[in-house]
Structure 1
């Protein structure tokens, strides 16, 4: 089995400046995901390491129970916090109108910030009520507590409905997306509505490392399979937020910013016919 447990030693993330990372509507296209990063010190250190490596986008959520550690990591980093694009998400049990207002403020307190760059509806499930939930997001936006509104795990029809209700524009829809789940319909719907796509689990929890097509492209360029997958997402105009805790993986993922895939590479990866979803709760809107 090939994996990014042994990052390419020839990659030099130190040569890639933060401003070399492309942005999509102001969102740095490579960010640090923090799902399941629940050890407080490890989480804070991974955030600090990522920011000092060059990342300027950090993603968390109420449900991850690490917002305080993410805030601590930003505070520890030798980076101006104003330069960090920070995103969090409101959990499904907190999506009632008043709960959104209350818990979003609690998130800001835990993160140690006055405003967050992007606040997502985590899933359109449980307490989610389009009119009430989104009215609360509009209020937070109008009050300046959030710079942008986002949604997560929304299918095209839910995206259209939310866009019609909200006064604030939807900046992004965060979904599981990787070479084994390319989400063409969602990407098309987002493109039609000028909404960015953010990919969580962009490495399919390591499943992409076993794909022969990705291995071939990685060998061609002398890089890891992780870098190839992240570069493929960037070629598709998709923002990615891979989780990484150790310094080696943080730096290897960052090195993907310097990898340019050619048309043959992209076509080869597009040709993967295996389809596999990693995150599939019963309340997922596709179920």
Structure 2
């Protein structure tokens, strides 16, 4: 009899697991059928590899100067992406710049998610807090994003750490709105009402039952926000509010190279292409994930 109970319970527990596995497999197949998304994944994977393997795939240090070899053009011997006006190897600076972009982007998006998800959960679940939290979110929305980031950096000071903090604060209101909308939809489901009637705590309901059902829009937001974070980091560094010379950051490299646009255009074009590619990659992957994670589209497959 005990064996029958165990078998029955195991079968019951395996049903939702099989559904989740089927959903993940279907989602993965849909994503891989999107050619742009696959291209984006390849670009992102390549950037991660370059960032991690930077010391192994570069010969020259990103800060090492050689004035005798300054402003070398593309495909020069020993410097296939040329050098800048101080003779620093452009390939090394691009590769180490990938590290900065990833670290700042991941930090900014992670902090933004922590704040946005928390506010979104509280606002969507507790109606008495909804008005107060949403008014704070509306206040943050009143400032254009880049201007809000510039204001925060002006208060905190110029550094990459403060850039990450500024971008994370900029990300919070959008994330909070997305999560709030999902929470308002999920908490009306019958199983949530059943959990309340069984005496489950609000924290348990929010964390174990509501939040997992909001993961799909959060993943899409985080992916696309990475593109915004990298682009914003480059923009702020270009304006002199982020990375300071001689840090090999792509936006700062463009700011430095603009004075040599006619004599050494590669100093501006190369980091510009690097920014364009990685922003494009995260955007198309985000679009692909949005389509792949749509349950209605998955059900039609």
Larger helix proportion of the pair: 2
Larger strand proportion of the pair: 1
Bigger radius of gyration, 1 or 2? Answer: 2
Is TM-score (shorter-chain normalized) higher than 0.5?
A: no
TM-score by length of structure 2 reads: 0.24
